Amino acid sequence: MTTSVHGPGPAEEAAGPPSGSPAPPRSRRALVAGSVGNFIEWYEFGVYGYFATVIAATFFTPEGGSEAEALVRTYASFALAFFFRPVGAALFGRIGDRVGRRPTLILVVLLMTAATTLIGLLPSYATIGAAAPWLLTLLRIVQGLSAGGEFGGAVALMTEFAPSGRRGLYGAWQSFTVALGLLGGAGVAALLATVLTGAQLGAWGWRVPFLLTLPMGLAALWLRLRLEETPSFRRRPGPAATTGAGGAGGVAAAPVGETVRAVALGAGRLMGWSAAGYTFLVVLPSYLQSVLDATFRQALIATVLANAGFAAAILPAGALSDRLGRRAVMVSGAVVAAVAAFPLLNLLQDPGAPAAAKGLAVCAAGAVVGLMAGPGPAMLAEMFPTRVRYTGLGLAYALANAVFSGCAGLIITEAVARTGDVDIPAYYVSVTCAVSALALATLRGDDHRRALRA
């Protein structure tokens, strides 16, 4: 079954620039400039998840409200930001496919940095009352919009600069910096939990990770200002080649129906990655605390181990997919995650299980997610031609994350509270990964050898 908006043909572009592989300095600049924005984005989203219980107490606990209600509202705000990702993917993707990858990526990193820094400065519910959660939600929306525009541009940048035969590895850097962002957020949270008292953490300590985004964002801005436009975008069809309503501005539009089908299929292929990734890497701390009575420090250590396993597997998985194909590597990850979800959770629930075994299990769970995350960006880039690549792959990713990542904490927390079934996270991962494996099985085995399409 074909995986792209258009089948192969004479319009296919070379895997690298016209003269061959991109010069190493340009390739490295593209990787660094694309990666740094992803790091900031996922660092913040990780920090928000890790400090969910503290944020709930600060912004969502009016007098008389319960801690459970506050946590659900915190995850609702978390999910809301994800639901604005598709809007951001469509908005910034359209700009990126018409104006260019570089200016769009500069804009989204500015928005993300500003919104995240302001969260660290927001007054609490105790200070300004009901305005506090509304202001927090507004900033989360801005983050969702900018995050929706980040992924498509970063992946387009990395894969369009990738030398022939290394697109999986180059695209994997996007996922790798996601892991580094989550790991960095977890590391900062764990450090603060170690050096500060609980009272200090709740009063002001939680704000530190958000304020650290400002210098990181300024560094990202500097790197992106030095970036050049991708070879693929510079060689896209000009005005004389455009047809249809979407052809204005020198960017031809792919048939809408085919693009929509490709976006839906791409979201289905990412379903397992999105659901398992957020369940194991972000929701896990609150689950361990609220359901299994783990301490904040224990939960964060488990999350650091899971993210370490995730990070360690991503680049090898991307490189392996350049040799074996995206389908073989990603289907393997989805199947293993579906099968292993219940044994993993049962091990964590066992109070008599050795701590080392639990640590190894969560690390392995993260590595399994990495098998899907490594080849995922390149797989998406190969589904869309240059003229809709930023929009198409960004929308597919944003939709999968909105439904299966953004809602993970809300669904799991609410379902456990209503049913009392502590195995809910395993059900969630198993079902989504099984469906994702079926969607991934429709990939062509030789997509990794085909050139990106113009």
Average pLDDT taken over every residue of the chain: 83
**DSSP per-residue codes, 193-211:** HHHS-HHHIIIIITHHHHH
**Residue recorded with tokens 């099984």:** 434
CA distance linking residue 51 with residue 59, whole number of Å: 12
Q: What is the pLDDT of residues 25-47, one digit of tens each?
A: 777 788 888 888 889 888 887 78
Per-domain boundaries in the chain: 24-234+257-449
Q: What are phi and psi of 441, to 5 degrees?
A: -65, -15
pLDDT at 30: 84
pLDDT at 316: 97
CA distance linking residue 24 with residue 161, whole number of Å: 10
Mean pLDDT of 233-259: 57
Above pLDDT 90, what percent of the chain?
A: 40
Mean pLDDT of 125-148: 87
CATH among 3.40.1360.10, 3.40.190.10, 1.20.1250.20, 3.30.1330.20 for 24-234+257-449: 1.20.1250.20
**Residue recorded with tokens 């044994």:** 343
Mean pLDDT of 51-77: 69
Least Cα distance to 377 among 229, 158, 163, 184 occurs for: 158
pLDDT at 410: 75
Looking at the predicted structure, is the pLDDT value of residue 2 above 50? no
Whether 177 and 42 have beta carbons less than 8 Å apart is answered as: yes
Alpha carbon of 215 to those of 113, 205, 209: distances in Å? 9, 18, 11
Q: Which residue has the higher pLDDT, 184 or 440?
A: 440
Q: What is the pLDDT of residues 393-439, one digit of tens each?
A: 999 998 998 888 877 777 887 888 888 888 888 999 999 999 999 99
Among 100-104, 131-135, 353-357, top mean pLDDT goes to 100-104
Q: What are phi and psi of 453, to 5 degrees?
A: -95, 140
Looking at the predicted structure, is the pLDDT value of residue 376 above 90? yes
